[in-house]
């Protein structure tokens, strides 16, 4: 099993490396430089700028410098926010984004899985219909719509939560809820259908036939099998949370890296775009790796297969 994890780890490193490379060349293939504006910049200034940001060096040299910077976590200066480095932006923005994202993930797991289980156990009862109705609604409403609805009602009409920033605990409610809405609903639906499937399995009947208490039949024998597909989904969920943060941070005016990313996209701030892309992608790759590890830990059959082939 150790060799399986080692191989997965090496693939992850390779993936991150490829992502960084592809991103670099994508950004550098954009016609015109980052300083191409609608009004032409005087040649002299252009030359100074290009020199300052090392843009006149040959591409392979820039690539080498960039990769060297990545390994030492130095993403270089920001092109649009003169005087700040991308590292500054990330170190100020990332903790906020991470906090909201982590709370959203927590909410998804801690609420989505239990209500999916309850819904499955009470199949075709009113509580099941209610949960499924809400969950179906949840997967049809994009996060930006949910966020604006929350702002409109809870911040605007009712005034329960602030409509921007992250100063008090209340101010987390809106962004976390908006960010987790879709995935929470999805996880609830997934858990329910997976649970219903598992409850029909022979081994659940065996557990009952062996006289195990209902709590053990459900809590031990059914749940562990039922959450296997949910674990698989949690990797992509992290991606949904991260990309969700692009709009959520914009709507709730949270100065996190999601908002910086959107700003840098409209300002053509290439170093920031590259840095955040690589950061997000690496984060995602690591999450997928962790999910794979968790998967192998929960399901012995996977461990067995991967080892043998």
Partner 1 sequence: MSTLLEVKNLKTSFFTHLGEIQAVRGASFTLNQGEVLGIVGESGSGKSVTALSVMGLIEEPGKIKEGEILFEGQDLTRYSNSQMSELRGNEISMIFQDPMTSLNPVYTIQNQMVEVLRRHQKIGKAEARKRAIEMLRLVGIPEPEKRIKNYPHEFSGGMRQRVMIANALSCGPKLLIADEPTTALDVTIQAQILDLMNELKERINAAIILITHDLGVIAEVCDHIVVMYGGSIMETGTEKDIFYNPQHPYTNGLHKSIPKMTTEQKSRLIPIRGTPPDLLHPPAGCPFSARCPHTMAVCLEDAPPTYGISDTQTSACWLMDEKAPKVDNYVSGGKGIE
Partner 2 sequence: MDASQFTFVDHSTLDEAEPARQSLTYWQDAWRRLKKHKPAMAGLVGVIIVILFGFVAPLFTSVSYSDQTIDYSNLPPRLTIYEIADDYYVFLTKDYKLLRVSGRGHILGRLDRIEQDAVNKLYTYSDGNLDVVLDFGYNLLPGKMDSPFDYSFTVDGPEVTSPAKKVFNKTYPAGSDSLGRNLLVRVMYGARISLTVAFVASIVNLLIGVAYGSLAAYEGGRTDIIMMRIVDILNSIPLVLYVILIMVLVGNRGLWTMIIALGSVYWVVMARLVRGQVLSLKEQEFILAARALGVHRRNIIFRHLVPNAIGPIIVSMTMMIPAAVFTESFISFIGLGVSAPMASWGTLANNALTGLLSYPYQLFFPSLAIAFTMLSFNMLGDGLRDALDPRLRKG
User: Which residues are at the interface with partner 2 (CB under 8 A)?
Assistant: 11-12, 14-15, 18-19, 23, 26-27, 29-31, 136-137, 139-145, 148-149, 151-152, 156, 239, 242-243, 246-247, 250-251, 262, 265-266, 268, 273, 277, 280-281, 284-285, 288
Contact call for residues 250 and 262 (beta carbons, < 8 A): yes
Could you tell which of partner 2, partner 1, none binds residue 210, using a CB distance below 5 to 8 A set by kind? partner 1
Tokens 């914009």 identify what position?
250
Q: Residue from 2, 71, 82, 209 that binds partner 1 (CB under 8 A)?
A: 209
Cβ proximity to partner 2: between 96 and 268 the closer is 268
299 belongs to the binding site for partner 1 (CB under 8 A): yes
Helix axes 223-251, 86-107, angle to 10 degrees: 140
290 belongs to the binding site for partner 1 (CB under 8 A): no
Q: How far is CA 217 from the centre of its chain?
A: 34
- Tell which residue, 8, 7, 6, 1, has the closest CA to residue 292: 8
User: CA 278 to CA 309: how far, in whole Å?
Assistant: 32
Contact call for residues 242 and 284 (beta carbons, < 8 A): yes
210 belongs to the binding site for partner 1 (CB under 8 A): yes
Residues paired with 77 in a beta bridge? 85
Cα–Cα–Cα angle for 160, 184, 297, rounded to 5 degrees: 135
The 228-267 site mask, x for binding partner 1 (CB under 8 A), equals x---------------------------------------
Could you tell which of partner 2, partner 1, none binds residue 133, using a CB distance below 5 to 8 A set by kind? none
Tokens of 263: 């700003």
125 belongs to the binding site for partner 1 (CB under 8 A): no
- Phi/psi region, residue 256 (left: phi>0; alpha: psi -120 to 50; beta: rest), is beta
First-last CA distance in the chain: 12
Tokens of 111: 């609420």
Q: Residue from 13, 203, 219, 265 that binds partner 1 (CB under 8 A)?
A: 203
User: CA 173 to CA 150: how far, in whole Å?
Assistant: 10
Cβ proximity to partner 1: between 89 and 199 the closer is 199
With contacts defined by CB under 8 A, name the span among 39-47, 60-68, 188-196, 207-215 that binds partner 1.
207-215
Interface of this chain with partner 1, residues 127 to 156, rule: CB under 8 A: none
Q: Residue from 92, 216, 243, 267 that binds partner 1 (CB under 8 A)?
A: 216
With contacts defined by CB under 8 A, name the span among 43-51, 87-95, 165-173, 211-219 that binds partner 1.
211-219
The least CB distance from residue 163 to partner 2, in Å, is 9
User: CA 115 to CA 134: how far, in whole Å?
Assistant: 11
286 belongs to the binding site for partner 1 (CB under 8 A): no
Helices (H) and strands (E) in the chain, counts: 14, 0
| SS3 call for 269 | coil
Tell me which residues touch partner 1 (CB under 8 A).
201-203, 205-214, 216, 220-221, 224-225, 228, 298-301, 304
């Amino acid at each position: 099993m150790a060799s399986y994890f080692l191989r997965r780890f090496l693939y992850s490193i390779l993936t991150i490396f490829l992502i960084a490379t592809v991103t670099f060349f994508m950004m550098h293939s954009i016609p015109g430089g980052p300083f191409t504006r609608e009004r032409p910049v005087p040649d002299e200034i252009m030359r100074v700028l290009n020199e300052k940001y090392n843009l006149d060096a040959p591409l392979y040299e820039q690539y080498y410098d960039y990769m060297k910077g990545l390994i030492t976590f130095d993403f270089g200066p920001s092109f649009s926010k003169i005087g700040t480095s991308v590292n500054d932006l990330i170190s100020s923005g990332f903790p906020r984004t991470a906090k909201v994202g982590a709370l959203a993930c927590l909410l998804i797991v801690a609420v989505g899985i239990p209500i999916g289980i309850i819904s499955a156990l009470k199949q075709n009862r009113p509580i099941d219909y209610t949960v499924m109705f809400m969950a179906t609604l949840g997967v049809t409403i994009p996060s930006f719509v949910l966020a604006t609805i929350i702002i409109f009602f809870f911040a605007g009409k009712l005034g329960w939560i602030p409509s921007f920033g992250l100063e008090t605990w209340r101010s987390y409610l809106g962004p976390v809820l908006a960010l987790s809405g879709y995935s929470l609903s999805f996880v609830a639906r997934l858990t329910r259908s997976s649970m219903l499937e598992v409850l029909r399995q022979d081994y659940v009947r065996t557990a009952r036939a062996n006289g195990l208490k209902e709590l053990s039949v459900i809590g031990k024998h059914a749940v562990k099998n039922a959450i296997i597909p949910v674990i698989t989904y949690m990797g992509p969920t992290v991606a949904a949370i991260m990309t969700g943060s692009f709009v959520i941070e914009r709507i709730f005016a949270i100065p996190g890296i999601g908002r910086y990313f959107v700003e840098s996209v409209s300002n053509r701030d290439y170093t920031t775009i590259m840095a955040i892309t690589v950061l997000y992608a690496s984060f995602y790759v690591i999450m997928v790796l962790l999910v794979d590890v968790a998967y192998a830990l929960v399901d012995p059959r996977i461990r067995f297969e991967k080892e043998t082939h």
